[in-house]
Chains A and B, each alone.
Chain A
Amino acid sequence: MKEPPLTRYLRLAVLGAGLFVPTVTLIPLGSLWLWERGLVIYWAIAVCLLTTVAFVLQRRLFPEPRTPEPAKVEIRPPRAEAATPAEERAWIEVERLADTVRPELLGSREETWAKGLEVIEAVARSFHPERREPLWQFTVTEALALSERVSVRLRTAVVDNVPLGDRLTVAQLMTMWRWRGVVDTAERAYDLWRVVRLLNPISAATQEVRERLQKRMYAWGKDQIARRVARTFVVEVGRAAIDLYSGRLAVTEAELSAHVSDVARKDRERVPASEPEPLRLLIAGQTGAGKSSLVNALAEQVTAAIDVLPATVGFTPYALKRDGLPAIIAVDSPGLGANAVPLDGLIAQAQDCDLMLWVLAASRADRETDRLALERFRAHFAAQPNRRRPPVLLVLTHIDRLRPFKEWAPPYDLSAEGSEKAQSICAALEASGADLGFTTDDIVPVCLSADCSSYNVDALWGRVVDLLPEARKAQLVRRLRDRSSRVDWSRVWSQAANAGRVLARTVIAR
């Protein structure tokens, strides 16, 4: 049984009047009494006194809590994420734009849009400086993957950096903004209609979100926050653009971790039971430098054929197992000669490796061949800014053949004033480093002959472990290139079939 609203209001009014009127009337009545008795002046003095005392006490006992300074968490564009020189260049560009961004740009929709476009263009240009239209060097799927990625990234970025950021879905703004880009790009794409349909409702939503955000910003009047948001905007757009143009988005994370490059697959066919995409270690050097002996020493067993005469004919992979290390495939190479033909093969192999060990005989002084080959190798990677050059260690073999010839009494202390042999080793180290462009840190002297029982190979492993993160980066980029350069025909087929189905449905629906 519900009572009519009128009686309810009436009851509330009566209740209010009953409680309110006596309290309210107390103040004028009291004042009147004070006035009539001529006590107002004393009352006023007492009030002032008490207020002062209260104020002082308040300040003394309860110091006002300091309003916390806005934490100076600068959103540094994580240049360290860059896997290739091209990405690093792009990050520097993004950083420059982020540093110079004006916070007022958030006030204008057009300005925000233009700034975003500027960032993307800068990134696109640093990736494709040779194209006339660098902006469109990506595929539709990449663009769609990007909008998804941006949503996630920007959401966390805003939550972390903007007060109330979790309630303002700026991510949607970015999503929408990105999809606008897709429309421009994918004019002739088969799913254009889908994008257009999605566009209208969300652009309305975007407008709303933007206005709310702006109002909040201005209400607080915190230029600092606006600046931070503007910076976040530029950095995130930059990150998105770098992801887009570096080709990473063409491959999803899951696909990448499952993907095994062609070379690794071939390795695996010859070396059974290896992990998904092991690290590829290329072992190169002149004939007779001791490449195959090094493979055997690293594998701790005789796997590669070694001989005093050239024994290795082609590039041969060997699986290396070592506790606590990821799977490694060591690729033994035929000895390098003076003519250029085997060098081409080696460079092709280097393109597919993540770490290289350059083997050099300490007892031989003909380093010209090595110098030319390493020069080619460095130039080869310098010419592809979107590839990361694999790290290289120089392995100095046959140190037992250095003067004094008859002596072999390891260990040798190379750091201090050592024996004559240690000095010979040091001299060989410095001479080869100077000739071939290695610092002494990147040169490991070893002895692999039967009499030496793999002297210093453990130290070599140590250096390899040091270089693993670097090698991993190189591997990531290599697999990315390998994966995205391949046309997945099964996918093309299913795309075509789906498109046909959609068309058929539209036709039938009409």
Chain B
Amino acid sequence: MMTHWTSSFRRSVDKGWSRLWDAVIEPRYGPAPAPEVDGAIAEQARLAAPVVWLVGKVQSGKTSIIHSLTGASEAQIGSGFRRCTTASRIFAFPEDAPVIQFLDTRGLGEAGYDPAEDLAVAERQAHLVLVVMKALDTQQEAVLSLLGRIRTRHPDWPVVVAQTSLHEGYPAGADHPAKYPYGSDGRAGPEVPSDLARSLGWQRAQIEALPGTGAFHFVPIDLTKPEDGFTPVAFGRDALIDAMSAAAPAGLAAALQSGARGEEDERRAQAHPHVLGYAAAAAVADIVPGAGLIAVPGVQAKMLHSIASIYGVSWTRALAAEFTGALGTSTLVRIASSFGTRELAKFIPVYGQTAGAAAAAVLSFATTYAIGKAACHFLGRRLAGRPDNGEVLAAYAAAFRRAVDLARARDFRPSPASGRPGEVRP
């Protein structure tokens, strides 16, 4: 009798475990997900990816800024832009699981341009208005007029102003000053040539005269190409990231702040936005109830394949087994049980759809992020031929704690206006 009971209990536990295994661990071993799954994950991540609204004239340096912030090449940026509204286009980065999006208004200054559509795009997602103007270009009426309309509608929106192409104001043949000569408020120091400083000040005065209460952050920068002969190539990039982080919503700050900086390993830096993007896609899968979304395990599986391709290997069953071994059974059980709890929590009325869902999203984000980061460590060590002495697990734990902080600061819920993801991308 007793044995019967224990054996039946063991059977049910085994059964439950194997079901959990099938649901959680197995997908990560499997072959690369189908392309339509890719697209769905990208849309999912896009829902959570904050939008940087670039407001500036043609050739004012918008592409250089995208390049400098994401590391994507100009050709990638050029071909990656998609039509968004009648007058604007959007570039999502990285493409497979966007963590940040750049909205570029092309119809700026044209007679019939109505910012309403672009405003709607910015309103439905976390966003930042980034004004781009050449430092010596004093003809900015179109930019000022659009900015004025944005601020009239949303007086509290902060605005970052990037003043580009500083070298146009240098004497012939001169290089950048040795030290970045602009204060944290963007005001020019005495090293800046006086005409350039006056032009910067003039632009500043024009913008500060606009309505609204939100802060303006001015950042003079000069993003040149290596063959142009200026050092550094990205003059003032750190100041720009600081200013954007100060003004940006938490998600964007996370995308920027923990970006390429502080990652000693180049591949890990390259993988970072992907990890963030997939983590966000996983969080969205939890918070937006409904069909059609790829559940967390699927997102994680795709992420592992994507990271592996960055490290130049393919995510095989053997590799997956090695990786799970490195993470240790207890971690896997925690991952599996957290998935189980989340799934259960969703069925609790009211709580499941609100606070429960929010908590679940945080957990999904953190788990996915930590798995991604751990996978980077794992693959990096493997590539270097170094044995793993618990560093992968340590990386998982550290990344998990960090991710929980990152996720708590963010709201993954898209605004009600967003509707289906397909609407963003006509």
Contact = CB atoms under 8 A, between A and B. Distances in A.
Interface of A: 286-288, 307-310, 335-339, 363-366, 368-369, 400-401, 403-406, 408, 451
Contacts of B202: 309
Contact of A337 (B134, B141, B168, B169): B141
Contacts of A363: 134, 165, 168
Interface string B194-220: 011011001000000000000000000
Interface in B100-121: 109-110
B102 to A, nearest CB: 18
B57 A366 contact: yes
A366 B198 contact: no
Contacts of A336: 139
B138 interface: yes
Contacts of A337: 139, 141
B359 interface: no
Contacts of B227: 404
Contact of A451 (B109, B145, B171, B198): B171
Given A287-B139, A363-B134, 14 more contacts: A288-B136, A308-B195, A308-B196, A309-B138, A309-B199, A335-B139, A363-B165, A366-B58, A366-B59, A366-B109, A369-B139, A405-B224, A406-B173, A406-B229
B1 interface: no
Contacts of A365: 57-59
A401 B173 CA distance: 11
B138 A338 contact: no
A406 B198 contact: no
Interface in B314-346: none
Interface of B: 57-59, 109-110, 134, 136-139, 141-142, 145, 165, 167-169, 171-173, 195-196, 198-199, 202, 224, 227-230
Contacts of A406: 172-173, 228-230
B172 A366 contact: no
Contacts of B230: 405-406
A288 B169 CA distance: 13
Contact of B198 (A308, A404, A405): A308
A308 B173 contact: no
Contacts of B136: 288, 308
Contacts of B167: 405
Contacts of B228: 403-406
A368 B229 contact: no
B139 A308 contact: no
- 7 cross-chain pairs, A with B, having the tightest CB-CB distances, nearest first: A365-B59, A287-B139, A338-B141, A308-B195, A451-B172, A365-B58, A366-B57
Contacts of A403: 228
A400 B141 CA distance: 25
Contacts of A405: 167-168, 224, 228-230
A337 B110 CA distance: 12
Contacts of B198: 308-309
A366 B169 contact: no
Nearest to A451: B172
Contacts of A335: 138-139
A368 B139 contact: no
Nearest to A401: B168
A385 B196 CA distance: 47
A165 B57 CA distance: 71
Given A338-B109, A365-B59, A308 B229 contact: no
B232 to A, nearest CB: 15
A308 B59 CA distance: 20
B139 A288 contact: yes
A338 B142 CA distance: 6
Nearest to A311: B138
25 contacts: A287-B138, A288-B138, A308-B136, A308-B138, A308-B195, A309-B138, A335-B138, A336-B139, A338-B141, A338-B145, A363-B168, A364-B59, A364-B137, A365-B57, A365-B59, A366-B139, A366-B142, A368-B110, A369-B109, A403-B228, A405-B167, A406-B172, A406-B229, A408-B173, A451-B171
Nearest to B139: A287
Contacts of A401: 168
Nearest to B168: A401
A79 to B, nearest CB: 39
A368 B137 CA distance: 15
A339 B143 CA distance: 12
Nearest to B196: A308
B139 A286 contact: yes
Nearest to B56: A366
B415 to A, nearest CB: 32
Contacts of A307: 195
B141 A308 contact: no
A335 B137 CA distance: 12
Nearest to B202: A309
A92 to B, nearest CB: 37
Nearest to B59: A365
A308 B199 contact: yes
Nearest to B107: A368
A310 B206 CA distance: 13
A307 B198 CA distance: 10
Nearest to B193: A308
Contacts of B172: 400, 406, 408, 451
Nearest to A449: B172
A406 B225 CA distance: 12
A405 B167 CA distance: 8
A365 B164 CA distance: 14
Nearest to A404: B228
Contacts of B58: 365-366, 368
Nearest to B110: A368
A363 B110 CA distance: 20
B199 A364 contact: no
A365 B139 CA distance: 12
Contacts of B138: 287-288, 308-310, 335
Q: Which of A287, A308, A400 has the most CB of B within 10 A?
A: A308
A337 B206 CA distance: 14
B391 to A, nearest CB: 46
A368 B108 CA distance: 10
A308 B169 contact: yes
A339 B167 CA distance: 29
Contacts of B195: 307-308
Contacts of A309: 138, 198-199, 202
A366 B108 CA distance: 10
A365 B57 CA distance: 8
Q: Which of B57, B169, B198 has the most CB of A within 10 A?
A: B57
